[in-house]
Amino acid sequence: MYLAHLALHDFRNYKQLDLPLGPGLYLFCGENAQGKTNLLEAVAMLATSNSFHAASDREIVNWQAPDHIARLVASVERHSGEVKIEIVIVDPTPANGADFSVPESRQRKRVKINNVPKKPMDLVGQVTVVLFAPTDLRLVDGPPEERRRFLDRALCQMQPRYCAVLGKYRKVITQRSALLKRIRENQEDPRMLGYLDEKLTEWANLIIFERQRMVASLNAQVDELQATISGGREHLQIVYRPSFTVNPEWNTIEALEHYREQLHEARRKEIYQGVCLLGPHRDDLEFLVNGVNMLTYGSRGQQRTVALSAKLAELAYMHGVTGEEPILLLDDVFSELDSLRREYLLRQILQHEQVLITATDFTNFPQEILGKAHRYQVVDGAITEA
């Protein structure tokens, strides 16, 4: 799989971009705040229609856009043939204070696949990407939310059902937390929790199962990756830590029963605190190197090696499941890696079908890479060949 063409209109600081692409390695260099990350953000949006970089869709629309619309159009080559994708995002509250409003009936995000209007969810499976950004280096030492996002971002690209269930689960958690607070204030009957408990355990069961499967697949890859980068000195294992007590020997029905029991046992404490204490929204991962938890005891170098191994294993996992190699996006990570990890990653990227890399300059790249790469300069939302 590779991105053959990308066009942007009023997307972030790109007023107008028309960029032909193809298989191989692409380097985009420029100073900070010129649009390098915005470019990768656009490519990543092709996978799910959502941004990894924005808190809300309105941030994507250029604040000077006269029609208050951002447009992304792409052509992607897959084994099965070409796929054309168009994403249009409308800013309902323009930052420039113009007299403009979006009718309630008007969609604020529109998607077309091969010129046919679709729901944003229909993008799932059309394009897959693996992004490695400086924030991903916090995968090991950052908050649990970062590690849950690592799993969910990959699973949502491959499984429309997982993505839909995750959305439903989050709504149930929001509703249930609000209900717990009202029960605590004697404004609702605790028996009202019954329906939401059923939905929580139903959606949680699927999420936990798929996360377990992904972690098992990652473990088939990460040990060799970690050992190679560390010169054979380190062995890596990823351990999934769900907040529910989970037994791999339970079947689906048994798991549901056990989750219901655990919710019932936690009910008094949940009402007292007014929050949902059990479920996939509280799960975590542990990264163990030679049996030692890297969150607590890992050196900075070890933690970065683990993050790198995990992202490369993610790419292999997605390739194995979909049969298509994801587009690899590397956002200014080489300045964050030491020479050993930088050299290893550079050797890896030459093996992949399409890789898009951003950096502040070309000096971190050896001649072998520069000779094989398509090189571009990014200046204030404009991209030119270097």
Residue 61 lies in a domain: no
Alpha helices by DSSP H, the chain: 36-48, 144-158, 160-184, 193-229, 252-273, 294-297, 300-322, 339-349, 367-372
Beta-sheet pairing, 116-118 with 109-113: antiparallel
Residue 257 lies in a domain: yes
Backbone dihedral angles phi then psi of residue 168, each to the nearest 5 degrees:
-65, -40
The Cβ of residue 109 has, within 10 Å, a number of other Cβ atoms equal to 15
Could you give the CA distance from residue 7 to residue 71 in angstroms, rounded to a whole number? Answer: 8
Residue 25 lies in a domain: no
Residue 274 lies in a domain: yes
**171 CB-contact burial (10 Å; exposed 0-12 / middle 13-18 / buried 19+):** exposed
3-state secondary structure 31-84: CCCCCHHHHHHHHHHHHHCCCCCCCCHHHHECCCCCCCEEEEEEEEEECCEEEE
Could you give the CA distance from residue 376 to residue 386 in angstroms, rounded to a whole number? Answer: 5
Domain count, the chain: 1
CATH number at residue 154: 1.20.1050.90
Residue pair 378/351 in contact (Cβ under 8 Å)? The answer is no
Residue 77 lies in a domain: no
Residue 142 lies in a domain: yes
Count of residues in the chain: 386
User: Where in the sequence is the domain holding 224, given as residue range(s)?
Assistant: 129-298
Residue 20 lies in a domain: no
Residue pair 36/332 in contact (Cβ under 8 Å)? The answer is yes
Residue pair 181/190 in contact (Cβ under 8 Å)? The answer is no
Whether the CA torsion 92, 95, 96, 98 is positive or negative: it is: positive
Per residue of the chain (386 residues), what is the pLDDT tens digit? 999 999 999 999 999 999 999 999 999 999 999 999 999 999 999 998 888 888 788 889 998 888 889 999 999 999 999 999 999 999 876 554 444 454 544 568 999 999 999 998 899 889 999 999 888 888 999 999 999 999 999 999 999 899 999 999 999 999 999 999 999 999 999 999 999 999 999 999 999 999 999 999 999 999 999 999 888 999 999 999 999 999 989 998 999 999 999 999 999 999 999 999 999 999 999 999 999 999 999 988 899 899 999 999 999 999 999 999 999 999 998 888 888 888 888 888 888 999 999 999 998 898 888 999 999 999 999 999 98
Backbone dihedral angles phi then psi of residue 137, each to the nearest 5 degrees:
-70, -15
Full-model pTM:
0.89
Residue 259 lies in a domain: yes
